[in-house]
Homo-oligomer: A and B are copies of this chain.
Amino acid sequence: MLEQWEAEIPGLPVAPIRVIARILRAGQHLEHEVTRGLSAHGLGNREFDVLSALRRSGPPYSLTATELRHAILFSSGGLTNLLVRLERTGLVMREQDNDDRRVVQVVLTDAGRELQEAAMTLDLEHEERLLARLDEAQRETLAGTLQTLLIGFELADTRWRPRRGHLASRAPRVRGRLDSPDPAA
């Protein structure tokens, strides 16, 4: 492809294509593969992302709709639809926040937690296979470089940037929620 451009339009600054087009194309393949794996559980990619975000947030497995939007880079309306679907299948519940009645708390149900864990187990094996061609050093470097890229994107992109914390909250606690009874502590 790069050879084609060089032959057609010599001197074209095609360098960024090598990185960006490949990320996009790899992303397409990966998304397709992951989706295929999840379909065994009747889940879509986005549904799984929501369940996973809730699961890893720890008890009480609850996040606000806005937090979820940032976690999965989704539009406001799109998330509402997603949550409606998940609620209809009994995987999450939506409830109004008592402190600020504008916000919706999304809570993972037991069924949702079980499904997420089953799906994740298979998904991780699948992902491991997809990376088979890379050795440990390559994965390490790749992960690091992507991290650098991502930090730039998330800082620059005003669309998804929350006002407080989120990316900045890499300090002590896993996720500082104020109202968690946190019975497991």
B124 touches A16 (CB 8 A): yes
A23-B23, A73-B29, A141-B145 as given contacts; A1 in contact with B131, CB under 8 Å: no
Chain B residues within an 8 Å CB radius of A18: 139, 143
A131 touches B24 (CB 8 A): no
Chain B residues within an 8 Å CB radius of A111: none
Task: Answer whether residue A142 sits at the interface, using C-beta atoms and an 8 A cutoff.
Answer: yes
Task: Answer whether residue A15 sits at the interface, using C-beta atoms and an 8 A cutoff.
Answer: yes
A17 touches B134 (CB 8 A): no
Task: Answer whether residue A25 sits at the interface, using C-beta atoms and an 8 A cutoff.
Answer: yes
Chain B residues within an 8 Å CB radius of A40: none
From DSSP, what is the main secondary structure of chain A's interface residues?
helix
* Chain B residue nearest to A13 in the complex (CB): B124
Task: Answer whether residue A103 sits at the interface, using C-beta atoms and an 8 A cutoff.
Answer: no
Task: Answer whether residue A58 sits at the interface, using C-beta atoms and an 8 A cutoff.
Answer: yes
Task: Looking at the assembled complex, report how far the CB atom of A24 sits from the nearest CB atom of chain B, in whole angstroms.
Answer: 6
Task: Answer whether residue A28 sits at the interface, using C-beta atoms and an 8 A cutoff.
Answer: yes
